[in-house]
Structure 1
Amino acid sequence: MIHIRNAHEGEAEILANIGLRSWQAAMGSIGGTDALLDNASEAFSNFTHRAWLTITVVELNGLAAGWAAREALDENISDFWIDPDHLRQGLGSALLAQIEKDVLEQGLEKIAVQTHAGNTDAIEFFKAHGYAIHWLSVDYSPKLDRDVPTVGLSKPLLEGGDGTYGSAI
């Protein structure tokens, strides 16, 4: 059974481990992640300990199986991680629906997320849920010592919106 809830402070390491495993799977197409593993592990641990109040958890049969965060509590999903062992079981869809509901209840009209351009599984997941790619950028990653293409996806949450700001004059 799928259940969505807010994170608890005492589960930061469990969430960090889910994030790290998911990050490893998502970064596979970029390569060079073995050298970053210790840094990534520390980053996930620090984030989940520091920002647990911004994290929403999806459980499967009572066990945490994924999480999402809106670090600034705005329309931007800063993190979205489903344990690789639990993909394609509806967890991501349920979690995303809850995050979208939370954003809409805040009075925000769109939602956005970004990922590296090689993360085709994530891009296709978000596109299947009504998101569209709105930008592409290439940023140099000093840790990987190479350029990494990144895409930004967004979705209007209100009928008739196009997901952009401002009027269409």
Structure 2
Amino acid sequence: MPAIRHARAGDVDRLTAIGLAAWQSAIAGLADGERMRRVAEASFFRFLSDHWLSVLLIEAEGGIRGWVAREDFDNAISDLWIEPAVQGRGHGALLLGEIERRIVADGFDVATTKTHARNDRAVTFFRNRGYGVSWLSTAYAP
């Protein structure tokens, strides 16, 4: 049975690997992921090293399978990444539900997030859970 818990500093390497793999899967066909890989990996590692306290992770099927973050502890979900091999098994929905509960408990009425406009899987995932599109972007920051 999946379990959600707060991340620990010792989880940073595994969370970086999950974020990078999910990111590469998400941008396949949209950008040169191999060319951008080093920068992306460093960005995940730096973010997680600096903000692991803002991260919830899900453990299932024998290990950590995904994570979600509220970088500034506000109503903005800054990250939601699920290991590609286990996507579609409900782990993302569980993490989203938990982070939404925490956003409401902190006094916010609305949760927000961002994804690439051509990341059809993510757009569909959020739309199926009641999110709408308020702005479209197709630019990746180097």
**What TM-score comes out, normalization by structure 2 length?**
0.95
CA distance in 1, matches of 2:101, 2:111: 10
1:116 aligns with 2:116: yes
Residue of structure 2 equivalent to 1:147: none
Partner of 1:57: helix, strand, or coil?
Answer: strand
- The one-letter code of the counterpart of 2:92 is G
Q: 1:125-144 counterparts in 2 under 5 A? A: 125-137=125-137, 139=139, 141=140, 143=142
Structure 1: which amino acid aligns with 2:70?
R
Q: Which amino acid aligns with 2:9?
A: E
Q: Is the counterpart of residue 4 in structure 1 residue 17 in structure 2?
A: no
SS of the residue aligned with 2:115? strand
Greater fraction of residues in strand: 1
In the TM superposition, residue 83 of structure 1 has moved relative to its aligned partner by 0.3
Return closer, same or farther for 1:6/1:129 CA change in 2, 3 Å cut-off. Answer: same
> Could you tell me how far apart the structure 1 residues matched to 2:50 and 2:60 are?
24
Give the number of aligned pairs. Answer: 142
Report the TM-score, using the length of structure 1 for normalisation: 0.80
> In 1, Cα distance between the equivalents of 2:61 and 2:29?
31
Equivalent position amino acid for 2:22 in 1: S
Return the letter of the residue paired with 1:11. D
Q: Give a deviation string over 1:40-78, Cα, whole Å, max 9, x none.
A: 111111111111000010111341100011101101111
Over aligned residue pairs, what C-alpha RMSD do you find?
A: 1.3
Q: How does 1:14-163 map to 2 (within 5 A)?
A: 14-137=14-137, 139=139, 141=140, 143=142
Q: Kindly provide the CA deviation profile for residues 138-164 of structure 1, in whole angstroms up to 9, marking residues without a partner as x.
A: 55x563xxxxxxxxxxxxxxxxxxxxx
Unaligned regions of 5+ residues in structure 2, if any?
A: none
Going from structure 1 to structure 2, the CA distance change for 1:26 and 1:138 (only over 3 Å counts) comes to: closer
Would you identify which runs of 4 or more consecutive aligned residues in structure 1 move more than 4 Å?
none
